[in-house]
Structure 1
Amino acid sequence: MNKTRGYRILALFILVVLCIIPATWAAGTLDYTTTYTITLKDDGTALWNVEYRTPLANDSDISTFENYTRDLDSIYLPEIESLMKNSAAQAAAGTARQMTVENFTGNAAVQTNPTGKFGVVTISFYWTHFAVPDDGLTVGDAFVGGLYLSKDNTLIIQYPSGYIVSATEPAPDQQGSNALVWYGMRSFGAGEPNIVLEKTAFPPVPVVAGFVIIVIAVAGLIMYRRKKHDPLPSASAYSPEEPDDPSPPLSEADRIGVEDRILQQLRANGGEQFQSDLVKVLGIPKSTLSSTLNDLHQRQIIIKVKKGRENLIRLAEEPR
């Protein structure tokens, strides 16, 4: 047997061997559909789930289904395990990549839903190094001779979150969230279906949104605690009238001259004026004006009245 012919036999071998149980149903005239679901992992391992589903129209169908699945664990599952191990060995030889199939489980049950009763058999196992992890995942070379889906067969290949499909051959019949779907009847060529998956550069939107929400919440909490424990200074604690341009001390004559100018300006303005306006009108440095006003206030010649964030200067001996 040459290598190419061996690969072709393997292509049929992988899916046909999984039809051992349906073959027994055929003798009992039970129709069935088959769904192959291959779930990829980041390390290239694939979880295979093969589901056979047949409608059970009457008690005779139920009896037939139960009779043929009674030997699932003792006969059919060991046969499938043996055949799939041979298939993985052939695929490993064709890809030069070590492969194993392991952890086989089988389950049979009668299920009832609104459309009727169904007999369902599920075979599951893991296939290591099924895909090639390399800055993404590449799938297909394990199907060295291609695949064939008969009528009423479905192939589903699921991939992990954080990946996008950059190429697939042939194109799927349906593409959903992290899943590619092909329906029978159809044939795949050697190494097909071939899928190239790339890792996304950014985390999924829900993760980003969650991170932003956390950042906003933390920032809000910090601002709340800061306002609670470090309130803004009140108008009395901060006044723009305080000097910010210290000047040299005045002589006695200069001090009296400044006092006279202040008192004259207050009398000309009805007996009161804001300190900031006195600075502008008289052209006196803030520090000089502030120290002079403090001296006049101590001698009870003027009164300082707080008005918001400013000081209103008022003559003490004259009515407002």
Structure 2
Amino acid sequence: MSRSIPVGVGILVIVVVLAGISLPVAMAGAVGGSQQAPAGNEHASTAHAVEEYDSQDFDSTTFEITVHENGSATWTFRHEQRLEDDDDETNFEAFAEEFEAEETGLYERFTEQAEALTDTRAEATDREMEATAFNRSATTEYRPGAIGVIEMSFVWEGFAEHQEDRLVVGDVFQNLYLSDDQSLVIEPGGDLVFTAAEPAGEYAGTTMENASSMTWSGEREFVDGYPSAVLRDADDVGSGDTAGTTGWSTGNALFSWPVLVGATVVVLGAAIALVWYREQDGTSSAETAPTEASEPIGPQPASEDADSTDSEAETDAPSEALTEDELLTDEDRVIRLIRENGGRMKQVNIVEETGWSKSKVSMLLSEMEREGSISKLRVGRENIISLEGYEPEAAKSPFDE
């Protein structure tokens, strides 16, 4: 069997035709080719397992990038494969033992392509780069089913660009494509924090600034230089530095002014509407309330005007309730809708229930997530939107260096 790992056009087709080097499989290590089993039955099963996983079609691949304060980054390629039965587990255990003991074809291709990648991007960015500290592991995890996990990593020296008091990630990416079974994760190392990202990814945390990671999932294609992120030392981020709005030099500005202006208009509009409503309510009460001077003395006969007034008041009551409902903000409507559906909904169902466009719902939910009123969890190709206390059980955290 000889198959190459299907990673779309490749997570790192950032170097495609330079010095005769092509990375159509994203340095995921599968360029095809298999190993021949050595003679002797005692080694046949091990050789077969190595061959199988050297050319395996993995269920999912995650590219984890931990950015360090000196501008280097630890890159980890994490492949996961479901192990359906005992035979699968036995084969994977045989592969894991061989993979960690010797340099298999899968690992050799990974190291060669990592070195080629840093060399060509160093030339393109005019920055010194080097691939060092290679490592590998293969383990079985249970969630509760058995999952075979293969991880290969290296340290990319000179990965991020230094710009004054910040690190800028993005100029090494070229023609970046993620297939539907791939994800790219950037994590701040040490005391670094995110201050901007473009395009905005899904982050783990209540705000971008305290997020432990930023994730972009496929299927997705990026233009050269993206995705990009700005990271700074947490001690250097003052009160005037709002996460998500700090940009850098022209051509890579990450200010999201349309979002900020839109959010400001929504908030101001809601505040003005609320003040107007209260003023109208107060004026109406003042006009209809009798004063001491005008109150009649002694018993008075019932009049037709009084009956008419009571009738009008009863008629106006429902109208007042409708007006209050109409003054609900979009955020309030979404929260009420999720609460009515048990505290958790799919994003696509929110679009259907509200009748709003996909783009409006997406922008609104992103803003609500930044404010901490809801949380989003990517499950397959869908987003699960949850209120606090109703979040689904999270999967294992990304690779921890």
TM range (shorter): 0.5 to 0.7
Structure-2 residue corresponding to 1:124: 153
2:189 to 160, 165, 179: 160
- Change in CA separation of 1:25 and 1:191 when aligned onto 2, cut-off 3 Å: farther
RMSD: 3.3
- Change in CA separation of 1:27 and 1:138 when aligned onto 2, cut-off 3 Å: closer
Deviates further, 183-192 or 66-75 = 66-75
- Change in CA separation of 1:52 and 1:123 when aligned onto 2, cut-off 3 Å: same
Q: Percent of pairs identical after alignment?
A: 27
Structure with more strand by fraction: 1
Structure-1 residue corresponding to 2:127: 97
Superposition pairs of residues 44-59 of structure 1, within 5 angstroms: 44-59=71-86
Q: Is the CA contact (8 Å cut-off) linking 1:162 and 1:204 kept in structure 2?
A: no
Q: Is the CA contact (8 Å cut-off) linking 1:45 and 1:127 kept in structure 2?
A: yes
* AA of the residue aligned to 1:88: T
Alignment of 1:142 with 2:172, yes or no, is yes
Superposition pairs of residues 76-225 of structure 1, within 5 angstroms: 76-113=106-143, 115-134=144-163, 135-143=165-173, 145-160=174-189, 162-176=191-205, 177-200=211-234
Q: Is the CA contact (8 Å cut-off) linking 1:51 and 1:121 kept in structure 2?
A: yes
Aligned-partner Cα distance in 2 for 1:48–1:87: 12
The CA deviation string for residues 131-175 of structure 1, in whole angstroms up to 9 with x for no partner, is: 0223111001112x1321112211110113544433322211335
Q: Is the CA contact (8 Å cut-off) linking 1:12 and 1:147 kept in structure 2?
A: no
- Change in CA separation of 1:19 and 1:166 when aligned onto 2, cut-off 3 Å: same
Structure-2 residue corresponding to 1:254: none
Alignment of 1:20 with 2:30, yes or no, is yes
SS at match of 1:61: helix
Q: Is the CA contact (8 Å cut-off) linking 1:77 and 1:104 kept in structure 2?
A: no
SS at match of 2:175: coil
Structure-2 residue corresponding to 1:41: 68
The CA deviation string for residues 168-226 of structure 1, in whole angstroms up to 9 with x for no partner, is: 22211335323211111111211111112234456899xxxxxxxxxxxxxxxxxxxxx
* AA of the residue aligned to 2:64: T
Aligned-partner Cα distance in 1 for 2:215–2:198: 12
* AA of the residue aligned to 2:129: M
Q: Is the CA contact (8 Å cut-off) linking 1:28 and 1:64 kept in structure 2?
A: no
Aligned-partner Cα distance in 2 for 1:42–1:6: 23
SS at match of 1:36: strand
- Change in CA separation of 1:124 and 1:201 when aligned onto 2, cut-off 3 Å: closer
Aligned-partner Cα distance in 2 for 1:137–1:6: 20
- Change in CA separation of 1:14 and 1:140 when aligned onto 2, cut-off 3 Å: farther
Q: Is the CA contact (8 Å cut-off) linking 1:101 and 1:125 kept in structure 2?
A: yes
Aligned-partner Cα distance in 2 for 1:42–1:190: 24
TM normalised by structure 1 equals: 0.54
Q: Is the CA contact (8 Å cut-off) linking 1:161 and 1:178 kept in structure 2?
A: no
- Change in CA separation of 1:71 and 1:52 when aligned onto 2, cut-off 3 Å: same
Counting matched residue pairs gives: 199
Deviates further, 153-162 or 25-34 = 25-34
TM normalised by structure 2 equals: 0.44
Q: Is the CA contact (8 Å cut-off) linking 1:36 and 1:155 kept in structure 2?
A: yes
Q: Is the CA contact (8 Å cut-off) linking 1:101 and 1:126 kept in structure 2?
A: yes
Aligned-partner Cα distance in 2 for 1:27–1:98: 32
SS at match of 1:57: coil
- Change in CA separation of 1:203 and 1:172 when aligned onto 2, cut-off 3 Å: closer
Specify the structure having the higher radius of gyration (Cα): 1
How far 1:82 moved relative to its partner? 1.1
The answer for unaligned runs of 5 or more in structure 2 is: 1-12, 34-50, 206-210, 240-401
Aligned-partner Cα distance in 2 for 1:204–1:63: 54
Q: Is the CA contact (8 Å cut-off) linking 2:32 and 2:55 kept in structure 1?
A: no
Aligned-partner Cα distance in 1 for 2:75–2:52: 22
The answer for unaligned runs of 5 or more in structure 1 is: 206-320
- Change in CA separation of 1:163 and 1:107 when aligned onto 2, cut-off 3 Å: closer
Q: Is the CA contact (8 Å cut-off) linking 2:30 and 2:55 kept in structure 1?
A: no
Q: Is the CA contact (8 Å cut-off) linking 1:56 and 1:119 kept in structure 2?
A: yes
* AA of the residue aligned to 1:85: E
How far 1:29 moved relative to its partner? 7.1
Structure-2 residue corresponding to 1:61: 88
